Amino acid sequence: MRHPLITSSSKSQLSPATHPKPQLDLLDNNARRTSTVLWIDDDGLFLEAAEGVLQMRGFTPLTAQSAVLGLFLLCICDVDAIVVDYNIPAINGAQLAAQIRDSRPDLPIFLFSDCAAEIEADYPGLFDNVYMKGNNCFDDLVKDLRAVTRSSVQ
């Protein structure tokens, strides 16, 4: 069967010798890997905005609209930091953070919530830092995320 788009002159362009296979460097994979941030919040629109901000700032975002999905992602993904809202269904953000601290005590956890100050007072030391939603504090959060993760993108 003839292939009308492949001519004798184009066959040389298809030869493997002219197009070497890319080499995978599995040993140096972490050098180029951006930090992965898991954001757990039941507000889907807010999560979309947060995902965009993290991507623009050089992070790899993972988002979850429930604690269960967040815990699942934490189990199957290499996560460098977590941002959690307090008001999420079934379990609040402090209970979720305490659960995560039990299994991953060194994982940075940040609270980003409407009631951040009150939660910080009720649960001292549970969160690495707290941020009040609506206070335009994405820049501060990004600085803190960079400080605790290996993200080198400025």
Contact indicator for 21, 37 with CB cutoff of 8 Å: no
> What is the C-alpha to C-alpha distance for residues 142 and 30, in angstroms, rounded to an integer?
20
The C-alpha atoms of residue 4 and residue 26 are separated, in whole angstroms, by: 40
Domains of the chain: 33-148 (3.40.50.2300)
Query: Which two structure tokens, joined as six digits, stand for 57?
Result: 């700032």
pLDDT digits (tens, 9 = 90+) for 2-54: 544 444 444 444 444 444 444 444 444 444 568 999 999 999 999 999 999 99
Phi, psi of 38 (to 5 degrees): -95, 120
Pair of tokens at residue 39: 């954001």
Which residues, in sequence order, are bridge partners of residue 131? 112
Q: Evaluate if residue 62 carries a pLDDT over 90.
A: yes
Residues of the chain with pLDDT > 70: what percent?
A: 75
Q: What are 53's two structure tokens?
A: 């901000």
Is 50 exceeded by the pLDDT of residue 120? yes
**Angstrom distances, CA of residue 2 to CA of 5, 7, 11:** 9, 9, 13
